[in-house]
Structure 1
Amino acid sequence: MKKLFFTMKTIIVLFLNMMIFLSCKTEASKKETAKEEEPIEKIVADSVRIAKVVKPQFKSLGGIADTTFVRLADYSDGFAYDLRYATDNNFLKEQVYECGECYTRAKTVKALLKANEEFKKHGVKIKFYDCYRPNSVQYKMWKIVPNPQYVANPEKGSIHNKGGAVDITLVTLEGEEVKMPTDFDFFGKRAYHDNFDLPQEILDNRKLLKETMEKFGFWSTRTEWWHYNLQGASNDPIANFKWNCE
């Protein structure tokens, strides 16, 4: 009888130990699972944090004087750029900017931002060929081509030198070129606004560019479909502000 009792007792002890072992294993498994899940949550949290850091934080034009020179890319990433005078792909056949940047006065940027929002409704956006141009660069251009038909005399200056002129075209929101009458800086009647001997698609694109820019305070130049001056900018002084090239 004692032997039987001892056997039963042994079985019970073994059973209890087994239950404790299984319970501990279950708890350990839960902890391991929690450990495996924790890094995933951390990765997600880190990704959100990094995304917030990487997301462009654009400056505000609030409180900035209208005549202050500002860098357009600091206020929007909704534009495209092909700054030709920072290359030799221009009518001068020479690079006259040390590097390509689009600066204008703050009031010009405000008008450009509004115009670009309007263009986006039509599935297009502004692409810049030229923006503000330091007067020292105007002297460089005049030295290469001293002809007022093509280059403004630096003594009188250009509205580009005043931060109120831009040379632009349109591209799709994906960056594809929109058909226009000519390439940038084409000097001939095909580039004139009063030339209507063009395919209808090109006429429509030129019209959209002109009417939208005029709606937001710019006026066009009859002989250059790409050139736009902000109204009143001709009264601003000629500037020689130079941006840094990194």
Structure 2
Amino acid sequence: MKAFFQLIAFTLFATIGINVRAQKLYVTSTLSEYNAAIQKSPEKQLIDIKKAIPDITLDIRYATDDNFMNRVMYSEASAFARKPVVAQLKKIQKELRKKGYGLKIYDAYRPYAITVAFYEQASDKNFVANPAKGSKHNRGCAVDLSVINYKTKEEIPMPTPFDSFAASAAVTYQNLPEAVIKNRDFLIKTMESHGFKVLNNEWWHFDFIGWQNFELLDIPFKSL
């Protein structure tokens, strides 16, 4: 099975012009291997975010055709993340609820095969992860999210919609209404105070600090 996956990865990399001979990338692609890793390190378990945080809102765009790919990429509208990532999200949700807000999750764990598909089609490679390195999403250590008014479930105004390739998606972009900048900075400050770091060109994307301790995964949602 490992040899088969390596052959598939080689073919995919060659198709999209990645120098695979220079890579030493390994992706966990079998459920047995993933379960073995959890037995050794329970914190590596992928947790269903909605089950762990019932009052969180999901808007899993890749389970619909409302995304930059314009087609359904996920077999189900689920959101998973590694155990310590979900623990921090739970703290953030609790903190936001006290202020009348809540989190809306667009994406979390992403199987590696989806990252390959994104890279093949994206018009701007600056907004998608290079499969030669893999994504923090593939490690279960990145989340795409925004803030909502918890009572109305409406998103508070942000610089761009989710997954926008516009320059205004960058966290340093300033030609915006003052209220929008305030909302963006509020989200970033809240997330970074709980162990996440924002991606500079995507206000909605946050990487968990310590992602290096988690392997790349290509486990489908239906197996989790």
Q: TM-score, normalised by structure 1?
A: 0.70
Cα deviation digits, residues 67-115 of structure 1 (max 9, x gap) = 1111111212121111111111111112111111000110100011011
* Identity among equivalent pairs (%): 33
Counting only pairs closer than 5 Å after superposition, residues 49-64 of structure 1 correspond to structure 2 as none
Aligned to 1:180: 158
1:135 is aligned with what amino acid? Y
What is the Cα deviation at residue 204 of structure 1? 1.4
Residues 96, 141 of structure 1: 8 Å contact kept: no
Q: How big is the alpha-carbon RMSD for the aligned residues of Structure 1 and Structure 2?
A: 1.6
Q: Residue 140 of structure 1: SS of its match in structure 2?
A: helix
What is the Cα deviation at residue 202 of structure 1? 0.9
Cα deviation digits, residues 176-198 of structure 1 (max 9, x gap) = 12111110111122111111221
What is the Cα deviation at residue 146 of structure 1? 7.3
Q: Residue 127 of structure 1: SS of its match in structure 2?
A: strand
Picking from 59, 66, 70, the partner of 1:82 is 59
Could you say which structure has the greater relative contact order, defined with CA pairs below 8 angstroms and 6 or more residues apart?
Answer: 2
Residues 191, 197 of structure 2: 8 Å contact kept: yes
1:172 is aligned with what amino acid? N
Cα deviation digits, residues 5-51 of structure 1 (max 9, x gap) = xxxxxxxxxxxxxxxxxxxxxxxxxxxxxxxxxxxxxxxxxxxxxxx
Aligned to 1:134: 111
Residues 138, 154 of structure 1: 8 Å contact kept: yes
- Report the Cα distance in structure 2 between the residues aligned to 1:145 and 1:193, rounded to whole angstroms: 21
**1:217 aligned to 2:188?**
no
Corresponding residue pairs, total: 182
Counting only pairs closer than 5 Å after superposition, residues 1-246 of structure 1 correspond to structure 2 as 65-145=42-122, 148-174=125-151, 175-244=153-222
Cα deviation digits, residues 141-193 of structure 1 (max 9, x gap) = 22323753232122310000000000000111121121111101111221111
Q: Residue 157 of structure 2: SS of its match in structure 1?
A: coil
Rg bigger for which structure?
Answer: 1
What is the Cα deviation at residue 140 of structure 1? 2.1
- Report the Cα distance in structure 2 between the residues aligned to 1:210 and 1:147, rounded to whole angstroms: 24
- Report the Cα distance in structure 2 between the residues aligned to 1:167 and 1:177, rounded to whole angstroms: 14
Unaligned stretches of 5+ residues in structure 2: 1-40
What is the Cα deviation at residue 129 of structure 1? 0.8
- Report the Cα distance in structure 1 between the residues aligned to 2:78 and 2:192, rounded to whole angstroms: 24
Which portions of structure 1, spanning 4 or more consecutive aligned residues, are displaced by more than 6 angstroms?
none
Unaligned stretches of 5+ residues in structure 1: 1-63
Residues 108, 143 of structure 2: 8 Å contact kept: yes
- Report the Cα distance in structure 1 between the residues aligned to 2:84 and 2:222, rounded to whole angstroms: 22
